[in-house]
Chains A and B, each alone.
Chain A
Amino acid sequence: MLDKVRRRLRALLRRRAVEQELDEELRFHIEKEAERNVARGMSPDEALRVALARFGRFDNIKEECRDARGVRPVEEMWQDLRYGARKLRKSPGFTLVAVMTLALGIGANTAIFSVVNAVLLRPLPFDEPAQLVRVFGTNARRSSFSRPHSYPNFSDLRGQSETFETMAAYSSESAALSGDEAPEQISGVIASGDIFRVLRAKPLLGRLLGAEDEQPGRPRVVVISHGLWQRRFGADPGVVGRVIKLDGREREVVGVTPADFSFEFVTGATDYWVPINPADSLYQQRGAIFLEAIGRMKPGVTVEQASADMGVVASRLEQQYQESNAGIGVRLAAAQEELVGDVRPTLLLLLGAVGLVLLIACANVANLLLARSAGRHREIAVRRALGAWRGRIVRQLLTESLLLAIAGGVLGLLFALWGVKLLSAFVPENVPRFGETSIDLRVLGFTLAASLLTGLLFGIAPALQSSRFDLNEALKEGGRGGTDGRGRTRVRALLIVAEVALSLVLLISAGLLIKSFVKLRNTDPGFDPSSTLTASLSLAPVRYDTDEKIADFYRRLVERVRTLPGVLTVGAVNPLPLGDNDYAFAFAVIGQPPPPPGQRQSASARFVSPDYFKAQGVPVRAGRVFTEADKEGAPNVMVVNEAFARRHLAGLDPLGQRLRLGINSIEAEVVGVVGDIRGTRLSTAPEPEYYLPAAAINFNDLTLVVRTATDPASLAPALRQVVTEMDKDLPLYDVRTMESLVARSVARQRFSMTLVGVFAVLAMLLSAVGIFSVMSFLVAQRTHEIGIRMALGAQARDILSMVIRHGVGLTLVGVAVGLAASLALTRLMSGLLYEVSATDPFVYGGITALLAAVALLACYVPARRATKVDPLVALRYE
């Protein structure tokens, strides 16, 4: 086998040597034969003549010997390649345009595919990722709600499961890292000890957390990320064993995670890992739900089997703990699916859009090839006349197309590298795994496949067309300077129709996305995001250990910030609307019949300072908001939004209603009603919410909301200064304008709108160029005919309308096909649209008019040129 490969390679690469040997071998034979003949008594001349005659035709034998080497197809391909390359080099203009068009198409496809590959296709970077599943709680009453777990519940699920190797609970948190440098709020994960066993991660230094760390009374430890290790500890190899201060509390660093380890199941980067301490009272209540869970199923167990197993455990818990667990079940989802399922529609939309662009690019190049082949009639006729069979010519022409496509692919790969960089500049931050995007083998394979397919696609029709004619007609046509054959005109017409149809689909998709984005941006969030700066603080519970200290700090902070120049109003809130958190708490309206167990009502709650509503620009609808007097010890009061009043206090006067709240089981009286806000996402309708005075609860975490008279971002340094002066170990973090939070909440829509928009414009330009070149070509072809018409008295107007009619006719067919395709396809993207129907008549009409206008223009210019034909010149043209 190896010998064979070596021999064939030699036949290919050392062709000359092999040929020489063949000559020598045959010559030796003839000489031997002649010698024998001489020995039999012939004269030397006679001997040689007889030997040659007996041998047969030299050339035929050599051909047969070459065939016997088994490399003939490769040799022919090599011939075709060299011939094709020579042909392409001879027409650099054509080659450049074709390669650039293809490079754009293939490059854009490669770039988008490399993202799809990283986000959707590549398995999660953990050992045997298919066995990783997320375990969610469910609530029978709220079907779409993924309920977090309480620690006792999680422990039961973990302990009683039979299908899991191990399971871990986690929750994201953040803490102030203080020390010699400026304090920094870093984000981390608090997790049960098995988390790294679930992920099967190995430490870079020291050790990772283990099950033993989850026992009560263990020393405080922390595992830090590679990033934090580099950033804050100068990659010190002796970091293990060092003690750091997190939220003012000392923890010993026991290990560092590797550079390529990332935990995308929480938003943002994870800087540190700390173990759950089950002795903490928060971890002993079955009602305190805030933990996410992830598990590793035993080998061979499927998600269905694990679901069934978990379902049994959940219903056992339901029986056992009626009060807290009635109606609570579990839902399992493959970890990867759960992580990226959300962005899949967006990415597939982009892949589809960019695929259409490539198809249009193909049509354009096919068109160029057709025009070019018209000029190659004679070359092909001569080759056919010399005995090349049709298949051989088709193969040669296809080789040329493949050469073009591969050149386009190589250049496209460069475009893609650059494109991915461009994408990463404006990809929304909440697209998981985007950072893993790279050009790997699969992407290269995709590019190669795309190039080859593209080459076949745009090459096959022109190649078949060019090779199909009979010699007589070719010579006749050739004699006249090459009018177009009927078949070729049909192919051209088809190309125009396809281009128009494809770009219409893309343009309409872009139009729908743009309209929906405009609607989204014009949506009233229920508050005024302009001129507002927000910044968060977390008071370390170690140092701010009493309610008085917390209340005092915030009171002094708000007072000092209020005196900063340019500040109008200062409020404080937790959680911030459009921020990263959301707290839902149960409540019951006093005087109403209590709901059955497991059907407790709950709503999002925000804890706010008296001036918050004014600072955030939330309108007061009835009653009053909080005052300084509403603090701990005062009668409990609350404010609800209109959605809350509508849903939960229907038919009642909200003011004066008393509610029992799940937090600390307090009773509070509704004293005011405020306007609804879109607190989680701009695209989500307002939810019922209620507000409580922050001073009555004394949260360690609060976010300042500062309304300014000047540019809000310029206030940030002064704000930091105030905080540092008050507590040098206290970091101010997540300093953002409210506008940027609004923008962030629509970032994904903006992303898909921009990209699809760019692709659609690209498609439109390519189509316009396509229509323009086809029409120009047709006009050039018909110069003779037009000349005759004009000589016979046709007016410029007649010629103009004749050409335009032809182009517009084709465009209209394309529009009809495109509209039908759009109606079928845009339905698939209705999930990505906001308050716009997938068949919005305004978008359909407007876009169709736009495309028709562009097509008309692309026809008009060549048509104008047709009217400039001088009959004399045209007739002499022959």
Chain B
Amino acid sequence: MSRNKTDLLQGTLDLLVLKTLQTGPAHGWDIAQRIQQVSEDVLQVNQGSLYPALHRLEDRGLIASEWGASENNRRAKFYKLTAAGRKQLQEETETWRRFSWAVTRVLQSS
């Protein structure tokens, strides 16, 4: 594994999925692509854990799914944020900011 690619922590993937869906509905492959693109390939989504994560989020009611047509008119399962998901995203983003700020502080201290 290359040193500049980082595996995602459990839970972090959930946050990233929610964030990605904030811009609009997407299917699983799209979500993985977007995360990778936006992070400039630093974050590699383990495709094996993406789908269980999606199903878990759906079971928790944070996202909802719907079958629709993809760009080239194939049937695909699209996910979108629910109201609960939007709220969760806000809270988790806040938590993450505090966390990373704290970690940064610790790392910067001599």
Contacts and interface: CB of A to CB of B under 8 A. Distances in A.
A64 B52 contact: yes
- Main SS class of interface, B: helix
Contacts of B28: 25, 28-29
B43 interface: no
Q: Would you list the 7 A-B pairs with minimal beta carbon distance, nearest first? A: A56-B48, A68-B55, A64-B52, A68-B56, A32-B29, A25-B77, A65-B55
Among A3, A25, A61, the one with the most B-chain Cβ atoms within 10 Å of its Cβ is A25
Interface in A18-76: 21, 24-26, 28-29, 31-33, 54-57, 60-61, 64-65, 67-70
A4 interface: yes
B59 A4 contact: yes
A7 interface: yes
Contact of B51 (A32, A57, A65): A65
Nearest to A64: B52
B61 A28 contact: no
Interface string B42-70: 00001111011101101101001001001
Nearest to A63: B52
A677 B74 CA distance: 101
Contacts of B55: 65, 68-69
Contacts of A56: 46-48
Contacts of B51: 25-26, 29, 61, 64-65
A28 B59 contact: no
Say which size band chain A's interface belongs to: 20 to 34
Interface in A62-102: 64-65, 67-70
A69 B52 CA distance: 9
9 contacts: A26-B51, A28-B76, A29-B29, A29-B47, A32-B70, A33-B29, A55-B47, A68-B56, A69-B55
Given A7-B58, A29-B47, A33-B47, 17 more contacts: A3-B64, A4-B59, A4-B61, A21-B77, A24-B75, A25-B77, A28-B74, A29-B28, A33-B29, A55-B47, A56-B46, A61-B48, A65-B52, A67-B52, A68-B52, A69-B55, A69-B59
Interface in A130-155: none
Nearest to A60: B48
A70 B29 contact: no
A28 B29 contact: yes
Nearest to B59: A70
A28 B47 contact: no
Given A24-B75, A25-B77, A56-B47, A68 B59 contact: yes
B61 A3 contact: yes
Interface centre among A55, A64, A68, A69 (most CB of B within 10 A): A68
A7 B29 contact: no
Contacts of B52: 61, 64-65, 67-68
B27 interface: yes
Interface in A721-748: none
Contacts of A57: 48
Contacts of A3: 61, 64
Contacts of B61: 1, 3-4
A91 to B, nearest CB: 39
B85 to A, nearest CB: 12
A60 B29 CA distance: 18
Contacts of B75: 24, 28
B27 A28 contact: yes
Contacts of A26: 51
Contact of A28 (B49, B64, B77): B77
Contacts of A24: 75, 77
Nearest to A70: B59
Interface in B14-35: 27-29
B37 to A, nearest CB: 12
A65 B50 CA distance: 10
Contacts of A7: 58-59
B58 to A, nearest CB: 7
Contacts of A61: 48, 51-52
Nearest to B74: A28
B13 to A, nearest CB: 13
A483 B7 CA distance: 56
A316 B29 CA distance: 92
Contact of B47 (A1, A54, A68, A70): A54
A55 B46 CA distance: 8
A1 B60 CA distance: 9
Nearest to A68: B55
B97 to A, nearest CB: 28
A1 B61 CA distance: 8
A645 B55 CA distance: 94
A57 B29 CA distance: 17
